[in-house]
Structure 1
Amino acid sequence: MLTQHREREDKFEVTEDFVLPGLDDLAAAGAPVGTGSFRLASLYHDTDDGDLRRARLTLRRRTGGPDAGWQLKLPAGRARTEVASRSRTRTVPVALADVVQGLTRGRPLVPIAELRTDRTVSRLVDADGVLRAEVADDRVSSTTYGTSARLDHWREVEVELGPAGDEDLLAAIGSRLADAGAVPSAYGSKLSRALGTAPRAAEAEPPEITTVADVVTRYIRAQCVEIFAGDLALRLGEPQVHRTRVAIRRLRSTLRVFAGLLDAEPSQRLDVELSWFAGLLGEVRDREVLLIRLQQQVAELEPELVLGPVAADLDAMLSGEAAQFMRTARTEMGTPRHVELLAAVARWQTEPAFLEGAAAPAKQVRTLVDSARATMRRRLKRALRPGPDFDERLHRARKAAKRARYAAELAEPVWPNAAAVVEMAKDLQTRLGEHQDSAVSAAFLRRAGAAAGGRAGHNGFTYGLLLAREQQRAADIRAALGVSD
């Protein structure tokens, strides 16, 4: 069984002769500062290629102290999420290996470093005895494995917030430590220091932009990072379907808008596989969006217009279908096809398949953005003509608006006016999307209303009322776009 909790801590580098300052006045009145000592051993695991470190994750097996067991730590803004298993196995627990499968893609997780820590802990609690903060004075010895083994030792202080703590307390303790000579650590974890990898400031420096390839690469890499983060979150059961789909859409859009700069065969193959996985997630997301939309509309009706358990039926139907499709997606995430998709995403993250034309000066990216805008305008013009396939043409115009928006987003680092194009395309996308949502909702309401009318204790009246309102809403959108029914 896995558990999760948010970990917010600050790290400080200190000298061997550092004296920890008094903290009693920062504890609750009358609450003593508790102390304790532990000897900890932490064996860190990763693939030989460093897949976890590249994603800023750490996986360790700890012995000694109150948190013995396996811990996987994930970045979460200024904090981290710790996913823990109390398993005492020497090999990585299956449940944790499954969580990082998208990053490892079947490669074995092996020991990469061992850290031994002599820890002295000071615990600050509130008047009810609930932990406010824990200050750990650590003396660390590290041994790394592999082709370039390293030995090191250092002393550091960690300050971790407890359930009753807050950022003000963290700052107060940090100020107290700084006055005593401590300095904020440049490393995000003990492991990064043991391995001698780049400090956080150096890791954050963006690459220089001089060519179109540089601009496109930066955007592609950002989407690949989001896709991997989404894969990780979905394996943990977190609701990240929408963010993952958006990253996939942005990447697919880039592959198409900038197709002339990319090797066609790997680009098209990636597009097909991204479309497959986005389709799986789309089945989940479509039902989530539809449920929220219809629940809000039912809540806005006068009570006498809601005949039968409409809200409960909507929740049962759409939540049940979303859960079923999510199970299907999770099953597919364990297949070789999905593993190969993620391997392809990893390749594009590190080395996109550019052709020679991508070496053009960065400012020329605007030409391709303008082309995407022109396509958007042409499709919108066609969509607004009368005809039986209006909904399909409007949907194609909406997709063109998305591509124009994402292309302009990509160009923002080198084109000052790109933000205005983003907003314009986003506004059009939203209006066309509302029409699409109405069409999808209307189709569902027809089916649900017909089914409700044939069941005892249910009634199709409310579904028909909602259907009529969706049809009117779609008609209003068409009128605003200049289309007469």
Structure 2
Amino acid sequence: MGAKTVHEVEYKYEVGPAFSAPAWDRLAGVAEVTAPRTVTLDAVYYDSDDLRLARNQITLRRRTGGHDAGWHLKLPVRSDERLEVQRPLNDSAVPPGDLADLVLIHVRPSDLRPIAKITTERTVWRLRDAGGRDLVEIADDQVHSATFGSTTELQAWREIETELIGDTDPKILDLAGRTLIEAGAAPAGDASKLARVLGTSPRPTSTDRGRTRLRGRSPAGAVIRAYLVSQVDALVEADPRVRLDEPDSVHRMRVACRRLRSTLRTFAPLFDPDVAEDLAGRLRDLASALSGSRDREVMLEHLTAELAALPADLVVGPVAEHIAGQLTADLARSREETLAALRAESYLRLVTDLRAFVTTPYEGAAARPARDVLLPLAHRAGHKLARRVTAIEATPPGPARDLLYHQARKQAKQVRYAAEALVPLYGTDALAVAAFAEQAQNLLGDHQDAIVATGLLRRWAAQVSHERDGDPLTYGVLLGIQISRLRAAERDFAALWSQLRRSPVRRWLR
């Protein structure tokens, strides 16, 4: 993509015109304060007319002045933490296509327009330790802003920012903050300068919406909606990370898809059947588009680690290069497929429809008390898992039983996600069920991964055998490891399942 990414941790404080900066060299751990440096920063911010980026705590700007002049996109991570994606400054007033792509889930490129300009007269100090290492940057900002549109609103204020540098211990920001407050500063009421200019509040997250305590008498729809909202949030938050190819981002998005789809199926009586089935099908298609990237990534890591652990005399030929070549090529193709899926109109419509779905009124079973409706539906998922395990126990080893293990794995996920959704009502009992189901899911996942790996290794061994001077020895060794891994997963799963006789989880699953 050519973009530079920066992890930003900063705190902001409001100060008056007469505020006097404290003596920073008295701060614990600070041995030196650099001479002040003043720079003028001019930033034009872009958003849709209805401020969809700002309401999701996202900022997109073109800034001149300072050492990092250019296009900046800031994505929320946690409170006071953001991921900043930077592109070099150019002469265009149109946001770069790759940055527009990162916010496509919120706003189309054609809808982006300048919404405000902020000019900052910034005076900067850096705090250093005894070794001369930069710890914190202190910025004293004199700010002037103007909104664009049918009317123009002007503001002016002063604020202090403290930003962590490198891998410095974040505790120093707390020390700096206490020093500022003792000197008369106050924590800023807005997360960013733009939020103050626009008067926008962040879009409520699932956590915010979950603060109303859910009880047994709460509508069943309210309990399940809270879980669905959290997973829509997770999907939306993962979207730009997948586009940036961040580690584990595809996995997080795929899990959000699975949780949403599983919840729609487990608690189907609460929803309009046609709408829920349509959404579940589209979520399945999205998860499938994400699966190739994730599955190949996991397989590459797994086989590379197992190969590295083999004695040198068992590694014959360029096995590592061959495996990496096969899976890396597949991974590149899968990534292109994933990005194509995320840029498709069908995906954008799915996200829009999911957001609308979680705001629909409660009707029918969804309006009844949660204690009367939800537990039997969760138990139904558990009973189905138990039937899958009984079928496994009655089936001899072979492809048919392997398929049953795979089906049991998917059912264990459904039990886990159902229990997670009911944690607000059933607390530690639901957590125990979710933990048990996760253990089962992981063991059955090991089983399925070993089956997939054996298929790949047999194919690669056959390819090598047909090559001149090829020796399939190492592939055979790896194949044996996979078969042992498969049998171990079966034994461990049987042992886990036998624990149900002594576990309170049993009533959810039998």
Q: Alpha carbons of 1:205 and 1:223: their partners in 2 closer, same or farther (altered >3 Å)?
A: closer
Asked if the contact 1:308–1:459 (Cα under 8 Å) also holds between the matched residues in 2, the reply is: yes
Query: Hey, what does 1:80 align to over in structure 2?
Result: 82
2-side partners of 1:54 and 1:442: how far apart?
48
What is the deviation of 1:201?
10
Q: What 5-or-longer segments of structure 2 have no aligned partner?
A: 496-510
Asked if the contact 1:220–1:348 (Cα under 8 Å) also holds between the matched residues in 2, the reply is: no
Asked if the contact 2:17–2:158 (Cα under 8 Å) also holds between the matched residues in 1, the reply is: yes
Asked if the contact 1:105–1:343 (Cα under 8 Å) also holds between the matched residues in 2, the reply is: no
Query: Hey, what does 1:183 align to over in structure 2?
Result: 186
Query: Hey, what does 2:259 align to over in structure 1?
Result: 250
Q: Alpha carbons of 1:393 and 1:408: their partners in 2 closer, same or farther (altered >3 Å)?
A: same
What is the deviation of 1:285?
1.4
Query: Hey, what does 1:64 align to over in structure 2?
Result: 65
Q: Percent identity?
A: 37
Deviations 1:292-349 (A, max 9, x none): 2222222332222222222222112112211221122213322323332333333335
Deviations 1:180-204 (A, max 9, x none): 0112223211111222234799996
TM-score by length of 1: 0.91
What is the deviation of 1:476?
4.0
Alignment of 1:83-482 (within 5 A): 83-88=85-90, 89-105=92-108, 108-125=111-128, 131-145=134-148, 150-163=153-166, 165-198=168-201, 205-207=208-210, 208=212, 209=214, 210-239=218-247, 240-349=249-358, 351-352=359-360, 355-363=363-371, 364-386=373-395, 389-416=400-427, 417-479=429-491
Q: Alpha carbons of 1:196 and 1:29: their partners in 2 closer, same or farther (altered >3 Å)?
A: closer
Q: Alpha carbons of 1:256 and 1:354: their partners in 2 closer, same or farther (altered >3 Å)?
A: farther
SS in 1 for 2:209: coil
SS in 1 for 2:105: helix
Q: Alpha carbons of 1:331 and 1:219: their partners in 2 closer, same or farther (altered >3 Å)?
A: same
What amino acid is aligned across from residue 232 of structure 2 in structure 1? C
What is the deviation of 1:27?
10
What is the deviation of 1:118?
2.6
Q: Alpha carbons of 1:32 and 1:285: their partners in 2 closer, same or farther (altered >3 Å)?
A: closer
Q: Alpha carbons of 1:86 and 1:447: their partners in 2 closer, same or farther (altered >3 Å)?
A: same
2-side partners of 1:374 and 1:12: how far apart?
55
Asked if the contact 2:33–2:125 (Cα under 8 Å) also holds between the matched residues in 1, the reply is: no
Deviations 1:223-252 (A, max 9, x none): 111112222112112221111111111111
What is the deviation of 1:167?
2.0
Aligned residues: 482
Which shifted more, 435-444 or 147-156?
147-156
2-side partners of 1:165 and 1:286: how far apart?
35
Matched, 1:42 2:50: no
Which shifted more, 82-91 or 445-454?
82-91
Asked if the contact 1:245–1:282 (Cα under 8 Å) also holds between the matched residues in 2, the reply is: yes
Q: Alpha carbons of 1:461 and 1:165: their partners in 2 closer, same or farther (altered >3 Å)?
A: closer
Which shifted more, 162-171 or 75-84?
162-171
Q: Alpha carbons of 1:221 and 1:164: their partners in 2 closer, same or farther (altered >3 Å)?
A: closer
What amino acid is aligned across from residue 122 of structure 1 in structure 2? W
Q: Alpha carbons of 1:474 and 1:142: their partners in 2 closer, same or farther (altered >3 Å)?
A: same
2-side partners of 1:332 and 1:164: how far apart?
36
What is the deviation of 1:72?
0.7
Query: Hey, what does 2:16 align to over in structure 1?
Result: 15
Asked if the contact 2:24–2:33 (Cα under 8 Å) also holds between the matched residues in 1, the reply is: no
Which shifted more, 169-178 or 24-33?
24-33
What is the deviation of 1:353?
7.4
2-side partners of 1:308 and 1:58: how far apart?
51
2-side partners of 1:328 and 1:199: how far apart?
32
What amino acid is aligned across from residue 269 of structure 1 in structure 2? D
Q: Alpha carbons of 1:18 and 1:79: their partners in 2 closer, same or farther (altered >3 Å)?
A: same
2-side partners of 1:419 and 1:353: how far apart?
28
2-side partners of 1:35 and 1:28: how far apart?
19
Q: CA RMSD in A?
A: 2.7
1-side partners of 2:444 and 2:228: how far apart?
26
SS in 1 for 2:17: coil
Deviations 1:67-87 (A, max 9, x none): 332211112234211111223
Matched, 1:33 2:34: yes
Deviations 1:336-371 (A, max 9, x none): 23332333333335x257543211223342222122
Asked if the contact 2:42–2:117 (Cα under 8 Å) also holds between the matched residues in 1, the reply is: yes
